[in-house]
Structure 1
Amino acid sequence: MSRSLLPTVLTSALLAAAQGPAHAAADAAPEAKPAQAARQVVTRADQLPRRNYQLPALPSELFAAPLEALRPLGAQLEADIRADLQAFDIQDAATLRDSYSALAALAQLRGDWAAVPALTAKARALQEKAGGKLTSGVLTDLLAEQQAEHRDAAWLGAEARRRYGAMPWADVQDNLKSSKGGLETYNAELVLGVMKAQLDAAASNGNMHVPNSLLTMLISARVQKELLPPNKSAIVAALQSVIDANSQAAAKADIWTPRTFAIPADAKATPVVVAVWDSGVDLALFKPAAGRGLAFDEQGQPAKDLLRPLGEAEGRWPQLRSLIKGAMDQRAALDTSDSQRFRSTMAGLKADQVKGFSEDMGLTGLYVHGTHVAGIAVDGNPFAQVYAGTMLWSAKTEPAEPSEARAQAMAAAYKAMVEGFKTAKVRVVNMSWRYGPSAYEGALAFHNLGGTPEQRKQEALRLFKIERDALKAAIAGAPDILFVAGAGNEDNSADFEEYIPAGLELPNLITAGAVDQAGQEASFSTFGKTVVVHANGFEVDSVVPGGVRMKLSGTSMASPQVANLAAKLIALKPTLTAAQVKALILQGAERQNGADGKPGRVNLINPRKSAALAGIRL
C-alpha cells in the first residue's frame, strides 16, 4: 500500500499495461562513459536532476495524435537521459531500468527497431531474478523484429510461442501468467481515461509543463497503443498455449508451509497484542485488543472509523469484491467467473468511466487491505489480539495538496499512533505500507507547487523529512515493540528511494521482502540493504471484511508473515524483548540460492527454526 501521485492499484496497473511486457524489465548497463569524464556516483534518488518539458497539447490529445507529434519531445527526453547516463554512475538497478525502458520506447517512437535488441541484451545480463533473466525483453525483441521485417501477427504469435515455450516453466510461469493477464485486459480506452482523469489535470495545473516521468509515461503508452492492439490476440494466444502445455507440470515445491507452525488452543501461552497499522480492520473477525484501536484521516486528524466506510459504494460491495478477486485471478491466469467478469468489465469501459471505476477499485483495495493483512498476522495464533492502527488514506485519483501544516499533522499522527500502541501494550506492529519523497514530489507537480523542478525536489525532501523524522523517532521511542515493514512492490531499492518505513534502520524494526511458496523472490518485491528477511507474499489466502476469503499478493502479505512469527514467539515466551525476537527471526532465517546457484539476497524466515532457537518445543 503506498501514497503516491497515482495511488490506486488499478491505475498503476492500467499504466503498466499501457507499457506492456515489452518494457516490463528493460534494465540495461550504463553506456560507456567518456574516458575524460569521471561520473558522479548516485546512491539516492534525490541526487539525480529533475526536468520539465512543455507539451504542445494535453496528454490525452497527444495519446490520440500521430506518433510524429511526440517525436520532438522524444528527442529532447532522449538527449537528457543519455546525458544523465554519461554524467552519473547510478547505483540503482531500478533507476537504470527506467532509463533504458524509456530509451527503448524512444527508439520505437522514431522507428529505430535495430536499436532495441542491444538494450534488452543488457537488461538480461543485469537481471537477478530467475524469471527476469529469461523473460526480460523477449517480447520487445519480437516486436522490433516484426516491425523491421514487416511480419504479421501470426508470425509474432508463433515466435512468441516458440521462445517462451523453450523456457524452463518452473522459473518463468509467474512472469508469463502475469504478462498474459496484463495483455488480456489491455484496453486503449482505459489508458485514455487515465490520461484524461489524471495526466491532463497535472499538465493543465502546470501550464502544460510536465516532469520527465509523466512525459516518459505518455510516450511509452502511445508507443504501446501503436504496437499492442494489432498483436494482442496473437500474443495472448501464444502465452495461453504455453500455459496450457504446462498445465500438467508439477507444481513448484512448497518449502514455505513446512516451515510454519500453529499454536494449539490449549498451549501454555500468553495473550499478545498485534497492531495492524494499515487502511482499517474489520475487528469483528478477530479477538480485539482492549483498546480496539486508533484512527487518523488523510490529513492526519483523529478519526473514529477503525474500518474504512465504503460510503455510497457500500451497495456495490459484492460486485467490487468480485472485481478485486477477478483482478487477482486474472494475474494468476485462472479462468474463474470472477476473472471473466473482470475481463468483461475492463473491455467495456470507456474513457469517461475510468476515473469513477478507478476510484471505486482504489476504495475497495483500501477497504480489504488491512483486514487481509490482519488475518495473515494472527493466523494459527489463538492468543493473538488485534489492535487497529487505521490510516484512512484517500482513494481519490488526485493527490492531496502538500503543505507544511499537513506534513506536521501527519508527523503528529505518527507520534500519537505509537503512543496508542504503548498504552494498549502492543508487542508487534505490522506496517504494510510505504512511500518516499517521490510521493510529495508528484503531488507538488500535480498542483504546480514548489517552483522549478529542482526547487520542487528540495521542497518535497523538506516536507518528507518532517514525516520521516517523526516516524523514526516514534518507533525508536517504543523499544519494547517490534515493528515489521513491507518492502514495497516496485522491484527497486527501498533505501535508494528512501521509503518509510521500509528504508529505515532501527533496532526494533525489521523489513520483509516477498517470495513465493517455493522460496523464489517475487518479481515485484522491492529489495535493498534494509530488506533483511523474506516470507511468502504470493497469492496468500486470508479474510477480507465480512469474512470472505481471498488470495492477494505483495510484500503487504509477506510482512505480516514475519509479524505472525514474532507474535507467536512472544505468546509462547513473553519475556522475550523486541530486540531478542528480531535476533531470533534473523538467526532462524536461511539464505536461499540465487539464479546463478550461489547464495542470493533472499533470506527466508523459518518459523520452526526460530522457535527452536528460542527454546520453544513444538
Structure 2
Amino acid sequence: MNRLIIVLFALLAFQAGIAQNKIKIESAEELPKHYYDLQGNKAMDYINNRDLLLELAITLEKDLRDDLEKYDIQDKATLRGYHSNFSMIHFLKDDMKSALEEIEKGRKLTEKESDKYMYNFTLDEFIKTRLEYSDLQEDEFKEAFKANLSSVLESMPFEVVQEDIEGMTGSLDIAKPNLIQGMIEGQMQPIIDKAGKQVPKFIVLQILNAALTYDMYLPYVDEVYKPVFQTYYDNHHVDVVMVDIWKERDVSFKDDLDLDPVVIGIWDSGVDESVLPEENRWINGLEKRDGKDNDNNGFVDDINGVGFDLNGNKVTELLFPIKEKNSNYQQYEKYLKGLLDLQAMIKSDEADELKKYIVTLPPEEVNPFIENLNMYANFSHGTHVAGIACKGNPKAKIMAVRLTFPYENIPAPPTLENSTYWAKMYKNTVQYFEDNNVKVVNMSWGYSQNSYETRLAMNGVGENEEERKALAKKLFNTEKDAMYSAMKDAPEVLFVVAAGNSNNDVGFANNIPSGLKLSNLLVVGAVDIEGKETGFTTMGKGVDVYSNGYEVESYIPGGEKRKYSGTSMAAPQVVNLAAKIWAVNPDLSVAEVKDLIVKGATPSEENKDILLIHPQRSLSMIQ
C-alpha cells in the first residue's frame, strides 16, 4: 500500500511538472492566434471541393492540437470551444466516433444546466443515427434521425431548455441556402480578399461551420428539425407556467412620495428622450437649442445630454442619424421585431413578413440586410435601456450620453488616432457626469483587445500576428487606461456595467468595462423571469449580481415598446434599484448603495453563487 501511495505521488508530481512546462493562459487576449494562406481559393471553393476543405480542416486541427499541448488553458468556455471545433472537424473527415468523443469532452465542461442538455446535441444525434443505421437510404435515414432526435428532446426538461428551444425553433424558419451563401460571399470572402496570406482562424472556422451546415443542417430543416422541434415545443410549453419572481421583488414609487431627484447617465448608443415620461428627462436649464454653447461647458445644445460620433468627436445629436444611412430604417424595425418574435415563438405579421423576405433575398443582398438590421439594433439599444432604468421612479432623471458603434460586418480598422480620441471622450464623458451630479451610470456595452486584433486582421492590417497583437494592445490599452483612470477619479459615481452575452467567464474575457477592478463599479449578469440562468449570460466571480435580462419590455425610438434580451437589459434593472435607493436617501455613499444592493440580493435556487437583486429587501435596509 505504501509503495502504491509513493508511486501515485510520483505520478502526480510528474503530471504537475508537465503542466508547469506549459504556458499558462490567464486571459482571452493571451490565447494563440492562427492565420492561413488560402492560396487564392475562394470561400465557396471549400464548400464545393471536399478535398480542399479537408486539407484546410486538417491544417487547422493540427494547430488546435498544438495549442492544447503548448498552453495551459483552464477556462472552461474556451476548452468547450476547442472540443466543439474538434467534433466538427472529425465529422467533416467522416471520423464519427472521434467526433462523438469530442462532444462528450465538451459536454463535461458545461457549467449551465441547459448546456448540459443542449451542447452540440443535434450533431451528437445525427452522428449516432449515422453509426446506428449506416446502410439506410437517405429518406429512411431522415425518418430514423427524426425519431432519435424526438426521443432525445422528449427526455429533456422543457423548463430548463425552453429558452434554447425557442431560439433554435424560431431560427429554422429563416435557415435558407441563399442566406448562408450570402453570408459566405458577402462577409467571409471580403475578409479573405483583404487578408491575403494572413486569413484569420475565425474565418477558417466559419468556412468549416458553413460546410457542416450544408451537410447536416440545411438538408434536414423541413423534414426533420422543424417538425421535431415544433412538436416538442407544442407538447410542453402549455404545461410550463413560468413564475415571475420579479413582481414580488419590485418596487414602484408614486409621485406623492417625499423623494429626491436622481440623475442617471445612460452611456449607450443614444436615447430618444421624447419617448420617456417628461418627469424622467434630465434637462440642462442653462442651455438652448440654438447651435451655441450657452453655458460654456464645451458642449453645444446639451439640453438632455451629449453625443459623440464614431471617431469620438462631439456631436449634438443624441440619436444616431439613421435616416442619413437608411431612409427605409422603419422597415428594419419591423424585421428586427419579426426576428425577435421568431426566436420567442410568437406568431406575428412581422415574423411572417420576415420569413417571406428572407426566402426571396438574393445572396448579394444578404450582407446589406444584416448590416441594416445591426444598424437599427444599435440605434434602438440606448432608448430601450433608458426606459428600464427609470421605470417606476418619477424622480429618475435620464441623461443621455451617446457613443457610436460600428454596425458593419467588416468595420474599419482601429487606429491610434481614433483610440486617442476615444480616450479623450471617456475622460470628457465622466467629467460631464461629475459636473452634473450624476449618481449612477449604465454601461450596457463592452469590447476587448481581441476584438481590436480581429478588426485589424479583417482589414489585412499588419504583416504578422506579432505586429497585429502589439498594435491591438497599444490601441486597447490607450482606451482602457483612460476609462479606468476617469472612472477611478469619479468615486462618487456608481458605474453599473453589463457582464456580456458570450456564455463565458467575465474575468477571463477581460473586456472593458466589465473587466475593470474598481470600487465604484458593479457588474451585472442576466437571468430570466424565474431567476434562472440565461443561456447567453457571461458569468464568473467578477459578476456581482444578476437581474432579469430575458424578454424585457421597454421603449424604442418613436415610442413603441419591444421586448429585448441580454445583459444589456439586466444592467439597467440594477441602475433602477440604485436610483431608487438614492431617491430615498441621497446622502448614501457609493459603497453604501453597492452594499445595500448586494446584501439585499438572494441566492438563486439553482446556483448559490448567483445573487438575484431584491429591490424590496434592499430598500427596506435603508437606515
TM-score by length of 2: 0.90
Q: Which amino acid aligns with 1:46?
A: E
CA contact (8 A) 1:482 1:578 kept: yes
CA contact (8 A) 1:58 1:200 kept: no
| 1:145-544 correspondence to structure 2 within 5 Å | 145-148=128-131, 149-150=133-134, 151=136, 152-233=141-222, 234-286=224-276, 287-291=280-284, 292-312=304-324, 315-544=327-556
**C-alpha separation in 1, matches of 2:335 and 2:67:** 42
**C-alpha separation in 1, matches of 2:608 and 2:362:** 45
| 1:55-204 correspondence to structure 2 within 5 Å | 55-148=38-131, 149-150=133-134, 151=136, 152-204=141-193
Q: In structure 2, do the counterparts of structure 1 residues 313 and 343 end up closer, same or farther at CA, with 3 Å as the change threshold?
A: farther
Deviation digits for residues 479-537 of structure 1 (CA, Å, limit 9, x no counterpart): 11111000111101222121011111111110100000111111000113321110000
Secondary structure at the aligned position of 1:369 is classed as helix
CA contact (8 A) 2:129 2:148 kept: no
**C-alpha separation in 2, matches of 1:450 and 1:600:** 46
Larger mean CA deviation between 145-154 and 186-195 belongs to 145-154
Shift, 1:123, TM fit? 2.5
Shift, 1:134, TM fit? 1.7
CA contact (8 A) 2:602 2:613 kept: yes
1:608 aligns with 2:591: no
Shift, 1:603, TM fit? 1.2
**C-alpha separation in 2, matches of 1:237 and 1:84:** 40
**C-alpha separation in 2, matches of 1:328 and 1:399:** 24
Q: In structure 2, do the counterparts of structure 1 residues 281 and 36 end up closer, same or farther at CA, with 3 Å as the change threshold?
A: closer
Shift, 1:431, TM fit? 0.4
Match of 2:295 in 1: none
Larger mean CA deviation between 411-420 and 203-212 belongs to 203-212
Percent of paired sites with the same residue: 33
Larger mean CA deviation between 387-396 and 141-150 belongs to 141-150
CA contact (8 A) 2:83 2:105 kept: no
Shift, 1:108, TM fit? 1.2
Q: In structure 2, do the counterparts of structure 1 residues 593 and 457 end up closer, same or farther at CA, with 3 Å as the change threshold?
A: farther
CA contact (8 A) 2:79 2:106 kept: no
**C-alpha separation in 1, matches of 2:281 and 2:54:** 58
CA contact (8 A) 2:80 2:109 kept: no
Q: Which amino acid aligns with 2:66?
A: A
Q: In structure 2, do the counterparts of structure 1 residues 395 and 415 end up closer, same or farther at CA, with 3 Å as the change threshold?
A: same
**C-alpha separation in 2, matches of 1:67 and 1:265:** 68
Shift, 1:154, TM fit? 2.0
Match of 1:16 in 2: none
Larger mean CA deviation between 390-399 and 72-81 belongs to 390-399
Higher RCO (CA < 8 A, seq sep 6+) = 1
Larger gyration radius, structure 1 or structure 2:
2
**C-alpha separation in 1, matches of 2:42 and 2:306:** 41
Shift, 1:35, TM fit? 8.0
Deviation digits for residues 274-324 of structure 1 (CA, Å, limit 9, x no counterpart): 111000100112232123111111111111210112224664243211111
**C-alpha separation in 1, matches of 2:117 and 2:608:** 17
Q: Which amino acid aligns with 1:224?
A: T
Match of 1:20 in 2: none
Larger mean CA deviation between 80-89 and 602-611 belongs to 80-89
Q: In structure 2, do the counterparts of structure 1 residues 58 and 414 end up closer, same or farther at CA, with 3 Å as the change threshold?
A: farther
Structure 2: segments with no counterpart, 5+ residues: 1-13, 285-303
Secondary structure at the aligned position of 1:522 is classed as coil
**C-alpha separation in 1, matches of 2:70 and 2:327:** 55
Match of 1:582 in 2: 594
Q: Which amino acid aligns with 1:273?
A: V
Question: RMSD value over aligned CA atoms?
Answer: 1.8
Deviation digits for residues 346-369 of structure 1 (CA, Å, limit 9, x no counterpart): 222221001211121011101110
**C-alpha separation in 2, matches of 1:524 and 1:581:** 28
Secondary structure at the aligned position of 1:247 is classed as helix
Shift, 1:553, TM fit? 0.3
CA contact (8 A) 1:540 1:557 kept: yes
CA contact (8 A) 1:156 1:235 kept: no
**C-alpha separation in 2, matches of 1:532 and 1:424:** 27
Larger mean CA deviation between 187-196 and 241-250 belongs to 187-196
